[in-house]
Amino acid sequence: MGGKKLPQDPRHLWDLVQKQHGVVARSQLLELGFNARSIEHRIAKGRLFRLWRGVYVVGRHEVSQRGRWMAAVLSCGPEALLGHGSAAALWGLMRTPAGIDVVIPRRASRRRPGIQVHRRSDLGPEHCRRVAGIPVTDPVSTLVDVASGTPEWQLERAINEADRLDLVDPESLRAALDPLPRRPGLARLRRLLDRHTFSDSGLERRFLPLTRAARLPPPETQVWVNGYRVDFYWPHIGLVVETDGWRYHRTPSEQASDGRRDQAHTVAGLTTLRFSEAQIRDEPARVRATLATVAERLGRRQAGLRPESRRL
């Protein structure tokens, strides 16, 4: 073995085991000074329980979900990362899948029962993150990997969760996809983001026909009202409409800012409506009906008529 071995020190072992959710690799035990005989002795005495080849649970049979994830990564080699659905679950983007997914470099060779091993030719240190001490693929790689086999509604939810958790927003995610080499899930994720992420002008093109269908005159757009820039404004009836794209206002400070904005308009006697990008795209009839109803009520108010005095 060459160099001098470290003496066995249970304190170092327990420190490592606690960081790794109750599991340890054989290679780590050897580095800590435990030899093959002492490892086999601990297995025979029930102090180590083999989970996968070369990976053990320490001191008990039971292991947590994070412990199993950590053990799976350890069993697949030093460059292995938790990936795909397991990575999405660890990041908090999706529910925990039934199996365990691990990503390894294409040149590596690993087979482990109960572990789905995926090989990537471009896997490198830049794709590695650690969550709760577990090596895991970065959020962009994780979303690409789950895109190939995930229902669209679930993929949309995962993207929204990544945005809400400040891991990556949809605009940054879309930009990060362009330089990536081809692999499963990439094209599907691009199409999904391209379909949902409009420019301001694209959102305006979708929204303005709905205002015409609601018999509203052309609004003022991107104008300053009560110290805030608003998307659409009808001064003759006191109506403000804000259209929120995919990247919704997710942090408490941004939500508070929206509240102050809407309150300022209310104090000034204006009515504010908010429509999401998804509503404008998927529920145009509902958006049009809401605009028509509110505009009619505001028009009567401006004319000095009460709603109940309307002639039927």
**pTM for the structure as a whole:** 0.64
Domain boundary among 195, 210, 234: 195
Please report the pLDDT score of residue 169 as a whole number.
84
Please report the pLDDT score of residue 253 as a whole number.
54
| 20/40 same-domain check | yes
Structural tokens at position 140? 């962009």
Interval 278-284 mean pLDDT: 87
Domain count, the chain: 3
Interval 24-43 mean pLDDT: 92
Please report the pLDDT score of residue 201 as a whole number.
52
> In Å, what is the CA distance from 299 to each residue of 66, 212, 214, 218, 303?
59, 16, 13, 15, 6
Report residue 243: phi and psi, to 5°.
-110, 120
| 264/161 same-domain check | no
- pLDDT digit string, tens, across residues 125-184: 999 999 999 999 999 999 999 999 899 888 988 988 898 888 998 878 988 999 999 999
Domain housing 14: 1-63
Strands (E), the chain: 23-25, 48-52, 55-58, 81-82, 100-105, 115-120, 128-131, 134-137, 220-225, 228-234, 239-244, 271-276
| 180/262 same-domain check | no
Q: What percentage of the chain has pLDDT greater than the value 70?
A: 87
